[in-house]
A and B are shown apart, each in its own frame.
Chain A
Amino acid sequence: MHIINFDRAGGRSPAMGAPYESTRNNARIRGGRGFRAKKFDAITAVDNVDLNIKKGEVFALLGASGCGKTTLLRLLAGFEIPTDGQIVIDGEDMQSIQPYNRPVNMMFQSYALFPHMNVSKNIAFGLKQDRVPRAKIKQRVDELLELVHMKELFNRFPHQLSGGQRQRVALARSLAKSPKLLLLDEPMAALDKKLREQMQLEVVNIIESVGVTCVMVTHDQEEAMTMATRIGVMHDGKLLQTGTPHKVYEYPNCRRTAEFIGTVNTFSGTVIENSADHVIIDAPELNREIYVDHGISGSVGTDIWVAVRPEKMTIDTTPPSGEYNHARGVVEEIAYVGGLSIYHVKTQSGMIIRVTLANVDRLAEGRITWDDEVYLSWQPGAAVVLTW
């Protein structure tokens, strides 16, 4: 059993001074085979998820809608009851604990600010439930108003606030009780793009300054990568991969992760040579073999996939030297997005390969353009071999 020592714990932690067996884990979700939400009787919304959230980290559950990430969040909050498995927060099994008794607070996607209460009363609501003395509540509310820069607007009602301001209040409200675990449900979904980028950094700064452990849910991979210290990619109720944004992006462990996080070119192929320091893969879509500079666990003859990120390819009009890792094609489409241009190159086999090119020069002259015949190539270390 794990009991976690909290230096900055909420009201429900064990009394200070008691002997702790301390680990770094804050929340632990251990899924049995049918670890699923009660609400969906026939469908397994969350399946066999085994997850440890470390104290103080911002963990993002990332996945397309319907992948079970929100159900997982609601399981943590206590709005859904797992049919199987276990949720442990700070060493305490949450199975029979009602939402109102959990040391967990959530910022809702819609914010769910009480429309009949002003900003201060919204923030104070949770503290009032715990019968905190009035003077203490006022002090804490002022502290939080300061933290989220809403001091002047304490008297406003939710309908008198802008989207960003509402989010600040919602965040302050969910931090008011110093929860052991903060849950953010699609935190930026209600904001427009410009405001979103600003609030992503602001929310992370606030969360880090408070030091609260946080689990967030999002379908936006950029948001997850900007805000989280660790990401868990979910699909069909299963956790595909967990790791730092860098790890998940550069070393995806399966095709789904590779394709969901960023864009990627995936070539199917067969291993024709496998040694400790390299693999050679026959890729019919390229009419050429792929050379990867590390060995893999599969044997010769297994079907695998090779993933190369668009920014790791180079595009040129002259044929590259060497016999591996390049492809010939014709420029079909160019998407100019300012800082980058995205080239869609059609190979002889009919496959479309995407390559991005940073627009370092302002002049457009001499750039590769539509219908040019081009050669794509990449370094042996740029490709990732995926086995499923």
Chain B
Amino acid sequence: MTVIGIPFIWLLLFLVFPFAIVFKISFAEMAIARPPFTELFAYAEEKLSVMLNVGNYLFLFKDKLYLSAYLSSLKMAAGATFLALLVGYPLAYGIARAHPGIRNLLLLGIVLPYWTSFLLRIYAWIGILKTNGLINNLLLKLGIIDTPLHMLHTDFAVYVGIVYAYLPFMVLPLYTNLVKLDESYLEAAADLGAKPWKTFLFVTLPLSKGGIIAGSMLVFIPAVGEFVIPALLGGPDTLMIGKVLWEEFFNNRDWPVASAVAIAMLLLLIIPMMWFHKHQTQEMVES
């Protein structure tokens, strides 16, 4: 019982309670108070009145900002996930095909940078991407460009940041999948006349589907709600729901609307998560 109970207590403490609090706030009204929202329940003169304000949710539809922030977040997260897959797949494949003795060393190379502060590493990218940063200085010195490229505070920088920050989440599931790939499948394909690239396309890639989906979900889901990267590397036009959420909470101090944004984001992310879960159980049943 206790063994099963512990994860449930964990879920209750760190998921259900905070969610319930946020859910509650999303139905409140903004108030100049501490905390800055009204109570839902009021008891006066032997009457219990419940004030549910659905205006916050309606507001999300009224103001175009939120919908476009959602869509833009999904788009950027999807794009970054695809880029992370493009970068991560060859990495994972290379490590999985490396000599068993150095595989762990290579994996360590992927994970090691993540032992330093996340914030620090994102700040480092500012130094790399800015107008008189590493890349621009190098390109100017080499004479490839005459005027510095504007890279920092653009969507491009956000893509770079997300791909960089979430790359291990793509590489590790892909690696665990690819390292298990039985070499005799590849030999069988070659034996039957498939050139290496066809073997990759028709055997390796379909067989690593599970790793691709797992890695993509692990990058996509946190990337949708990403706040720090668009805040530090993104420009004023960079529209992401995490940034909107932050501004709602701390600049506008509109906790109820911010909570409604958070709840809506969660609902939006449940769909891919459910699909991922379904796929995983299906895969487990098959094997």
Contact = CB atoms under 8 A, between A and B. Distances in A.
Contacts of B185: 112, 114
A177 B209 CA distance: 29
A105 interface: yes
A129 B182 contact: no
A182 to B, nearest CB: 11
Given A129-B198, A159-B286, A112 B193 contact: no
Interface stretch (A43-51, A96-104, A237-245, A317-325): A96-104
Contacts of A115: 207
Contact of A100 (B191, B202, B287): B191
11 contacts: A99-B187, A101-B193, A108-B184, A110-B182, A112-B182, A115-B207, A116-B206, A129-B192, A129-B193, A129-B194, A176-B192
Ranked 7 nearest A-B pairs via Cβ: A126-B192, A129-B193, A112-B188, A112-B184, A99-B190, A116-B206, A100-B190
A130 interface: yes
Nearest to A115: B207
A108 B192 contact: no
A70 to B, nearest CB: 12
B279 interface: no
Task: Tell which of A99, A110, A113, A130 has the most Cβ of chain B within 10 Å.
Answer: A99
A251 interface: no
Interface string B21-32: 000000000000
User: What does DSSP make chain B's interface, helix, strand, loop or mixed?
Assistant: helix
Interface in A65-97: 77-79
A108 B188 contact: yes
A6 interface: no
Nearest to A157: B286
Interface string A330-359: 000000000000000000000000000000
Given A79-B187, A114-B203, 11 more contacts: A78-B190, A100-B190, A100-B191, A109-B184, A112-B188, A113-B188, A114-B185, A115-B207, A125-B189, A126-B193, A176-B192
B191 A104 contact: yes
A110 B188 CA distance: 11
Nearest to A108: B184
Contact of A130 (B189, B193, B203, B287): B193
B195 interface: yes
A173 B192 contact: yes
A386 B219 CA distance: 70
A114 B188 contact: yes
B168 to A, nearest CB: 27
A281 interface: no
A280 interface: no
A108 B188 CA distance: 8
B191 A105 contact: yes
A276 B199 CA distance: 63
Contacts of B203: 114
B193 A106 contact: no
Nearest to A109: B184
Contacts of A114: 185, 188-189, 203, 207
Contacts of B287: 159
Contacts of B190: 78-79, 98-100
A77 B203 CA distance: 19
Interface in A121-176: 125-126, 129-130, 159, 173-174, 176
Nearest to B185: A112
A179 B287 CA distance: 33
Contacts of A176: 192
Contact of B192 (A98, A109, A125): A125
Nearest to A173: B192
A114 B203 CA distance: 7
Contacts of B207: 114-116
Task: Tell which of B182, B188, B190, B195 has the most Cβ of chain A within 10 Å.
Answer: B188
Nearest to B196: A100
A111 B206 CA distance: 19
A98 B194 CA distance: 10
B188 A99 contact: no
A126 B190 CA distance: 9
Contacts of B209: 116
B191 A106 contact: yes
A109 to B, nearest CB: 8
Nearest to B186: A112
Contacts of A99: 187, 190-191
Interface in B164-211: 182, 184-185, 187-196, 198, 202-203, 206-207, 209
A177 B192 contact: yes
